[in-house]
Amino acid sequence: MFKQQRKHPSRHIITVKIALPIKTPMELEEAISLALDDGVDFIEVREEKSLHTVIRMVDGVVREFSSGNEYRISVRSLFEGGWGFGVASSLEELEEAVRDSVKLAKLSSKWSERVEPEWPSFAGKFETKPKKPPWEIGPEEKLDLIREQDDQARSYERVRNRNVLYLDSLRDVRIINSIGTSISQRISRVRMSTHIYAYESGITESAFESKAGSGGLEILEGLNLGEEAAKRAVEALAAKPSPPGKFPSILDPKLAGVFIHEAFGHAAEGDSVLSDQSILTGKIGQSVGSDMVSVVDDPTWEGLYGSYRYDDEGSEAKKKYIVKGGILSSFMTSLESAYRLRTRLTGNARSMSYDHPPLVRMSNTYIDRGDWTFEEMLSEIKEGIYAIGAIYGYTDPAKGQFMFKAEGGWLIKDGELKERLREVAIAGMTLEVLHNVDAIGKDLKMDPGTCGKQGQFVPVTTGSPHIRVKELVFGGR
Amino acid sequence: MLGEDAVRVALAGGAEEAEAFQVRGRTISISVEKGAIKTASSIRFTGLGVRVSLGNKLGFAYASNPKEGKGVGEEALKNARAAPPDPDFKGLPEPRPVTLIEGLLDPKIKNLSVEEASSLLMSAIESSKVSPKVVSVNGKLEASYYEIGIYSSKGTDVREERTSFNVFLEVASKDGDRRGSSLDFADGRYLGHLKPEKLGRNAGDMAVKVLDSTKVGVEELPVILEPKAQVSIIPFLVDSAANAENIQYGRSFLSDKLGKEIADDRISIVDDGRIPWATGSSSFDDEGIPTRKTYVIEKGTFRSPIYNWYAAMKEGKESTGNAVRGYNRLPMVGAHTVSIEAPDLKMSKEDLLDVRRGILVSFTFDTPNLANGEFSGLAETAFLIENGEITKSLRQTNMAFTLIDMLRSIDGVGDDIITVQSLRGGSIRFKAKVAGPG
């Protein structure tokens, strides 16, 4: 069960100058020869150093001011289809980690299907170039950005609790493997979020806003996350429970983005397809939605939270249409899943950190623009629900059943927004819903998030314009 | 000793107080994809987190696998200098006498080989293939041995070795055009409690059962939540809703309910950190404070939140031993193992199912809303009950209720007690609104 939650990565810090110990290729390359001598079919070495900052302010008080640094080298070996994974905490331990991974790969191979490493190799270097690198900026400037968001929320009456979280990270990775890949990549990411609670006459409501990207502090300047979240939390105090049942509905870009990520994107991940855990197995070239639906995954979109140039197997990242005009056109793949599915390598292998082997993951995933305006969509609905914001969602990719939680909504009557609704649960069968999409807006918006799969959380972006669905099941209360 | 070094360096640099939290251990992890082992890994880890205070300014720094504690101690001190003051920070925890408990360290897990771990998982995987309709099985097993040590300038000096395991299975099924899936999971600190064949069979049986499904409309029905469907709901009452920090900041729907009746007076809800072999158990919490049993709801009345040191000091109270953290985080407040005590409502599972029409929920992954205590989510694996018999699987069924309505309407607690994640308990029955796809 794959679950996405608006979880905040827990490891972050304030640090100014720390030299990043990028080792010379020779030392890592010795590990490659060592494993090949031991008879493995493939070996990959990933050296990773990361720096993190977290500052958390609650009701104007800094509750957490922390910094951290992490360094490891992970080694992954393939032997007759079985993978072994070992981790070294320093170059001195590298040899042991290599031997571990080889031993483990041989052990796994007893129960594995063979795979030949007939894969392309990549070489190159990539670095995000932040205008304001977080590691060169002192704590005061970061605190000012946080206070600005806190002040915005404080100015709202009925706001009871204000939470502002600032995170920055610098992840420096070097990957080499036995088929010639040698890449290095340094990505700086920043994130600011607000979670605001409002209270009146025994009722408490909350709203969440966030902004994140790859780059520096320039991404977090001039934001109004405090104001936006406070406004919505206060507005929700007067909201009514949603009526349960089936309604024509409009999903706002945030919610539609989470929907396409959770309900559809996970099913298009090559490992889900291979393991028969996907409703999309065997459906390439077939219709999976209304012909106005196109879905894209694009890690190369510069500056977004889920962006990268090379994935965590060192493969070059590619923009691809998963769905074009309603037809399933591509899966997202890693080295192994591309080989097993006999399909294109898309550079979607990602790992949360050094102690996890890469899995097939999304990057920046969105429903492409249509040509409707929100007003046009609204005007044609007699009675329905406009659902807004996403708290979390999850999906069962094998059954094609999804559930997601919207922060709230509006009751639509005769083409107008009539009444504000509280948090609602929406459930459905993914492909039915995609076939029922009958309008897509022009207003594509991208929203950062953190996606969890098998215990690994990675930064992603989900996006969409407003979309209209002929009918959706609402849980109500 | 890394921790002691870090504390010494911070004090020498001018810190008033310093505390080191250190963890080191090993995790074996086996993952299976489509019935075959995909990856085996064995990872040793060390992590150090250091809190340093200067008056009411607090700084924190951490590192994975540091070679020495010095750098981390210095970094934490630097952060304390840069941090604005926190008027509610009243100092790092004072030491409290700790009595060690049994049932935290299983030598079998400590000495587990990757081969043994693989055999256990493969036996669960093989057992799940109960029918040709089972088309694919994925799974993961993790087993960890680790030692936690906390050392501070206030005199805290505790350490403890613990073990844990968790297993997760995901089974996909197919019958003609119909597809289904189910799952099962188990965890604990003692490997002997893992019954891989039973776990596998159950996941397989369930995946086949869900192929034959029906749907309900919008109805108010008795809902029976099996223990594994409660793991995101009942512990939430303590872990999040009765979390002192959430109460103090007014984030929780229980914020103004202390001392008030919020449940049927036959119901108590307790958090217990000292149950042998439960994943949530330990002799002391992550600040070195001894764990205990806390009555959060006692005979229907909201009696006590759970506290870590910071939240307790803010109210001039004693910590309940509920600090939780990783080496890379400051301590938060969290539950150990939560259970419902309701001897007057106890009944057999059979009696619990004896309703004219209702739904039995095996799994849900939704959590209630902290601010208003409302639950609205998907009954991920659920079955229709008609005249006391489980008839068909239900698809796409939402259920909605408030936690307080649930606590007031529970009319049966089953004797099918298990311990899983932060929960210890049997099935529960109450009324809720359910909405199928129509």
For residue range B370-418, list pLDDT tens digits in order: 998 999 888 889 999 999 999 999 987 889 899 999 999 999 999 999 9
Model-level pTM? 0.91
**Chain-chain contact of B138 with A475 (C-beta, under 8 angstroms):** no
Write out the residue limits of the CATH 3.30.2290.10 domain(s) in chain B. 2-209
Chain A residue with Cα closest to B169: A1
Closest residue to B41, CB basis, from A71, A104, A473: A104
Contact B135/A at CB under 8 A: yes
Half-sphere exposure of A103 (CA within 13 A, CB side): 12
Nearest Cα residue in chain B from A403: B378
- CB contacts, 8 Å: B371 with chain A: 197, 204-206
B44 contacts A398? CB cut-off 8 A: no
For residue B164, pLDDT over 70 is answered with yes
Kindly state the helix (H) or strand (E) to which residue B252 belongs, with its residue range: none
Cβ contacts from A onto B, under 8 A? 262
Selected residue with higher pLDDT from B153 and B177: B153
B46/A473 Cβ within 8 A? no
Q: Which domains does chain A have, with CATH numbers?
A: 2-237 (3.30.2290.10), 245-474 (no CATH)
B182 lies within 8 A of chain A by CB? no
Residues of chain B numbered 396-425 and touching chain A (CB < 8 Å): 396-402
**Which residues does residue A190 pair with via DSSP β-bridges, in sequence order?**
A168, A213
- Cβ pair B299, B261 in contact under 8 A: no
* Chain B residues with CB-CB distance to A201 below 8 A: none
Per-residue pLDDT of chain A (477 residues; tens, 9 = 90+): 333 333 333 323 333 334 444 444 347 888 898 888 889 999 999 999 999 999 999 999 999 999 999 999 999 999 999 999 999 888 888 888 898 899 999 988 887 788 899 999 999 999 999 999 999 999 999 999 999 999 999 999 999 999 999 999 999 999 999 999 999 999 999 999 999 999 998 888 899 999 999 999 999 999 999 999 999 999 999 999 888 888 999 999 999 999 999 889 999 999 989 887 788 989 999 999 999 999 999 999 999 999 999 999 999 999 999 999 999 999 999 999 999 999 999 999 999 988 889 999 999 999 999 999 999 999 999 999 999 998 887 787 777 888 888 989 999 999 999 999 988 888 888 999 999 999 999 999 999 999 988 888 999 999 999 999 999 988 755
Comparing alpha-carbon positions, the chain B residue that sits nearest to A3 is B365
| Contact at CB, B118 and A15, closer than 8 angstroms | no
| C-alpha torsion sign, points B239, B241, B242, B248 | positive
Structure-block tokens of residue A199: 């209270």
Q: To probe the interface with B, which of A399, A423, A470 has the most B CB atoms within 10 Å?
A: A399
Partners of residue A71 in chain B, C-beta under 8 Å: 64-65
- Per-residue DSSP letter, B284: B
For range B242-247, the mean pLDDT: 98
Closest CA to B76 of B39, B95, B49, B113: B49
A68 vs B438, more confident: A68
Cross-chain residue pair B398–A71, CB shorter than 8 Å: no
Distance from CA of A205 to the nearest CA of B (A): 5
Nearest to A104 among B42, B249, B401 (CB): B42
Contact A61 B58 (CB under 8 A): no
Q: Is the pLDDT of residue B156 over 90?
A: yes
- Please list every residue in chain B whose beta carbon sits closer than 8 Å to the beta carbon of residue A90: 65, 67
Among B46, B67, B437, beta carbon nearest to A473 = B437
**Within an 8 Å CB–CB cutoff, is residue B46 touching chain A?**
yes
Interface confidence (ipTM) of the complex:
0.90
Report CA-CA distances (Å) from B151 to A10, B2, B68, B94, B318.
Answer: 22, 10, 15, 11, 20
Q: What is the pLDDT of residue B47?
A: 95
CB contact under 8 A, A160 and B88: no
Q: Give the confidence band of B438 by pLDDT, cuts at 50, 70, 90.
A: low
Q: Which of B36, B252, B398 sits opposite A473 (nearest CB)?
A: B398
Which residue would you say has higher pLDDT here, B29 or B67? B29
In angstroms, the first-to-last Cα distance of chain A is 25
Is there a contact between B64 and A100 if contact means CB atoms under 8 Å apart?
Answer: no
B366 close contact with A: CB closer than 8 A: yes
Report the percentage of chain B scoring pLDDT > 70. 100
What is the residue type of B284? F
For the segment B128-155, the average pLDDT, to the nearest whole number, is 96
> Which residues 194-233 in chain B show a CB within 8 A of chain A?
210, 218
Return all residues near B36 (Cβ < 8 A) that are at least 6 apart.
A81, A111, A112, A113
Residue of A nearest to B405 (CA): A477
Query: In this complex, which of B40, B75, B140 lies closest to A454 when CB atoms are compared?
Result: B140
Chosen for mutation from B37, B171, B211, B260 (greatest number of chain A CBs closer than 10 Å) is B37
Q: Is B129 on the interface with A (CB under 8 A)?
A: no
What's residue A19's pLDDT?
43
What fold does the segment set B2-209 form as a domain?
Answer: PmbA/TldD fold (3.30.2290)
Cβ distance of B433 and A476 shorter than 8 Å: yes
Element (H, E) at B73: helix B70-82
The beta-carbon neighbor of A427 closest among B30, B371, B378 is: B378
- Residue B368 predicted with pLDDT over 60: yes
pLDDT of residue A476: 57
Pick the residue from chain A with its C-alpha nearest to B328: A11
CA of A209 vs chain B CAs: smallest distance (Å): 16
- Which of B61, B183, B398 comes nearest A427 by C-beta? B398
